[in-house]
Structure 1
């Protein structure tokens, strides 16, 4: 298959051996472009037209105009009339769901599903998830956990065929684990550095957030996920807002993000709580009691970083581990993350953008499988 690399960094190839319809082939590319353009349909189509011109994605049998018409018919875009009487196209909730599913398949698609998707505790006995292990019946065990086949076998062994009877001592049950919920807050840095230096760091962060949200809602529906962004301040966003997320002209107020994350988790009744933080820069901003901002982008400001260390220690006292995904490689920033992680007794990963989603997935799964103490 003939592969080429475009200016966007995507790889395109001929579709001779593909079985997808012309619409599906273009829709796969469209989902990527609409994510990169933060939901801007017109910009995404401009990119698609350029790619079509260069890579011959369509032919006379199925044109880009046909594709747009199909997007409308299938409910992926809607026309909106502006006050001046002109119209524009916007993506719909159906497209937002398709983007999240696409992100999940891209990032987590090679991971095998295991189990029903809830968090096991170390306590066995009266529970609601079968483990496959067998044990003798105990007072309080539910009747629906009794293994009839194994119990009858046990009775035959204990009493024989001639004097067959089934007693409480013969009963065998399939062991169960209690299920536990997990509450997670995902913090995304949207400071200006996330698009500096010729590298788009915000799009991979958005994809990870969408994939994690789709994973939790489809596989672990009893878990909770809150997503917040932090620049000069911090605020929560909804899952449906992720495709439209953009970087702002902000500094990095890590303290505000941590304060909000811990406030969100304090309200959760779940025992298991954790914070994931995706950032590429140093903390450079604080909001003062009078509402003004203290900012310093030059190096690591002692006043700011000490506040971060204090927040990390507070989270540790609340039994909230923080996992930091630092997508910058500067040694002095790594030293900050090391001390921050030590204060929290959490974890840190120093990574580029490649593999970020897989790392977060594995860490989430690892935390999920930890048993309640």
Structure 2
């Protein structure tokens, strides 16, 4: 049996080889774009929320101002408006009128020269006719429409007027017609006439709601050369033509009354008859019926010194309309506004690809923030920061405060405990760590590293490097019940202490929930009245015009929290900027009086005494320089054996977290 040819020969390999073809990047999501920094965006949103903005507004403000290296909606909109103003202030609508006037003057001048050389009586009569032309360019062109030119050059210039008018009128509706029809003959003009007739029929059929699939296919087969944008269906054809038609109407609306009168008269001479203008008017009517929502009655004011032809002016009108749409989309001020409303292709046309990339990135940023679950809709229907967002925000705030602590020589917050109970977590060793090694994890790291480099083999000793060493995180064995009392009276907002107070609570919550999970934290907000509050609610809490510092009520709630954990060390941290001016009556109502009422002071001190008898470690963080507050706090601290810390606003978080860590080391 003869041997069969092999399928693995060189020729067959070449035939089966798949070639790759590379093309220029043409827009859309950039596959090489770096991942979005959601952490930085969330930090900015969190800062706005803590300052009193709603999450929805904070997100909108972030998109408006952008981030470092990413232009926001406001800057993009400013560029759009600047381009719009530059276009209007640099151009005018006189281009076609000036060109026609120049052609007419040239034709008349050449004809005068010829008539001066001719000696017959008809020449003298023609001279009288030429010399008595009306001052209006349009009227003169109309009067000369039947004139028998003697000068070939004059006749050529006059025919250029008719040709120019026809091409400009077509250029207003169909891009590229002015150049395409330059020097066109009668056959070319007939093709235009046929196209307009068929287009009118197609548009009428579309406006009647009929199926135009077959009609559109036949129309494009016959006249597709006039539509380089290659629309895929009647809707796309109508969309592109309607915008140019509306721009042509805006051009007409923008002319002065004298210019409109001249254009009406001149248009009848396009290509030597009124047929073209009649056909275009019919097309405009069909398009207006198909897209009545476009700005058909608008007008634009141009005041520059660069003249535009009719086609160029219509394109400028279309650009202005597109810029207006982009500006509105960038504003996001209308009902149902969405970043997806921004036309990225239009933005690239008007401002360049870099602007489209920025807008696309903003769209991605908003979508990623929503998709990653950083927002959730509450029972009130409004957006709120989700627990995931609060954890991320807490990490950032705590990291910032940890930097301050480390700079002051305090213990870094990444340490979970000192030779206490293992937390079950391990991490890479760093210089200065004293925790015990996790030996199995360390050996595993070394083996995996060797296997990855190909050097691992049976019988070969495992070699450790510093990067392999893993240590066991430990947790202090003592449990604490921590009550953080934060003043939410209006003076905190007026003195710029509102956001630092929130950052302090968020940082402490993050530290306890991630590093000291056995501790129990309760946040208590007190103004005229006090209430327990979770960290997410506190982050979004808005300041209220509420007088009163009801520390008495807050201390009662703190005691209730501490009693729930009788075997834990009680810790009370108080952040305030004012003397107690309110207390809770037996009826449950809040009593307020300023200056502080003796009864308010007495009840507040009594509850501090009660906490002292419970063994609570009390620290008061006094904000501001009020001498009355300083005197009250100092006396109370000496009475109950507490500590007083008077940090500046920027150091509040570090002071509270540092005090908590100090107390934990002591415990």
TM-score by length of 1: 0.70
Which has the higher Rg, Structure 1 or Structure 2? 2
* SS across alignment from 2:358: coil
Per-residue deviation at 1:79? 6.4
Q: Which residue of the partner structure matches residue 529 of structure 2?
A: 233
Change (3 A) 1:57 1:278: farther
Deviates more, 1:269-278 or 1:64-73: 64-73
> Which has the larger share of strand?
1
Residue 29 in 1 paired to residue 44 in 2?
yes
Q: 2: distance between equivalents of 1:254 and 1:20?
A: 47
Residue 91 in 1 paired to residue 385 in 2?
yes
* SS across alignment from 1:286: strand
In the alignment, which of 518, 541, 563 is matched to residue 266 of structure 1?
A: 563
- What pairs up with 1:1-373 in 2 under 5 angstroms? 21=36, 23-37=38-52, 40-49=54-63, 51-52=65-66, 57-58=71-72, 59-63=355-359, 64-78=362-376, 89-109=383-403, 111=406, 112-113=412-413, 115-117=415-417, 179-196=477-494, 199-248=495-544, 249-298=546-595, 300-371=596-667
Q: 2: distance between equivalents of 1:81 and 1:253?
A: 29
* SS across alignment from 2:570: strand
* SS across alignment from 1:61: helix
Per-residue deviation at 1:90? 4.1
- Note the residue ranges of structure 1 that are not aligned, 5 or more in a row: 1-18, 121-126, 134-175
Q: 2: distance between equivalents of 1:220 and 1:79?
A: 30
Q: Which residue of the partner structure matches residue 277 of structure 2?
A: none
Are the aligned partners of 1:229 and 1:257 in contact in 2 as well (CA < 8 Å)?
A: yes
* SS across alignment from 1:62: helix
Are the aligned partners of 1:119 and 1:369 in contact in 2 as well (CA < 8 Å)?
A: no
Per-residue deviation at 1:319? 0.9
1:247-270 Cα deviation digits (max 9, x unpaired): 332411111111111121122133
Change (3 A) 1:79 1:68: farther
Q: 2: distance between equivalents of 1:306 and 1:80?
A: 41
Q: 2: distance between equivalents of 1:362 and 1:25?
A: 25
* Higher RCO by CA contacts (8 Å cutoff, separation 6 or greater): 1
Per-residue deviation at 1:22? 5.5
Per-residue deviation at 1:278? 0.7
- Note the residue ranges of structure 2 that are not aligned, 5 or more in a row: 1-33, 73-354, 407-411, 424-433, 436-473
* SS across alignment from 1:210: helix
Q: 1: distance between equivalents of 2:658 and 2:384?
A: 35
Are the aligned partners of 1:210 and 1:239 in contact in 2 as well (CA < 8 Å)?
A: yes
* SS across alignment from 2:572: strand
Are the aligned partners of 1:283 and 1:304 in contact in 2 as well (CA < 8 Å)?
A: yes
Per-residue deviation at 1:74? 2.1
Q: 2: distance between equivalents of 1:34 and 1:319?
A: 37
Per-residue deviation at 1:228? 1.0
Q: 1: distance between equivalents of 2:475 and 2:372?
A: 44
Are the aligned partners of 1:286 and 1:304 in contact in 2 as well (CA < 8 Å)?
A: yes
Change (3 A) 1:330 1:50: farther
TM-score by length of 2: 0.40
Q: 2: distance between equivalents of 1:269 and 1:119?
A: 25
1:163-187 Cα deviation digits (max 9, x unpaired): xxxxxxxxxxxxx998211111100
Per-residue deviation at 1:215? 0.4
Per-residue deviation at 1:279? 0.8
Per-residue deviation at 1:70? 2.0
Q: 2: distance between equivalents of 1:228 and 1:211?
A: 15
Deviates more, 1:201-210 or 1:53-62: 53-62
Are the aligned partners of 2:526 and 2:550 in contact in 1 as well (CA < 8 Å)?
A: yes
Per-residue deviation at 1:212? 0.5
Q: 2: distance between equivalents of 1:276 and 1:88?
A: 32
Change (3 A) 1:210 1:337: same
Change (3 A) 1:314 1:201: same
> Which has the larger share of helix?
2
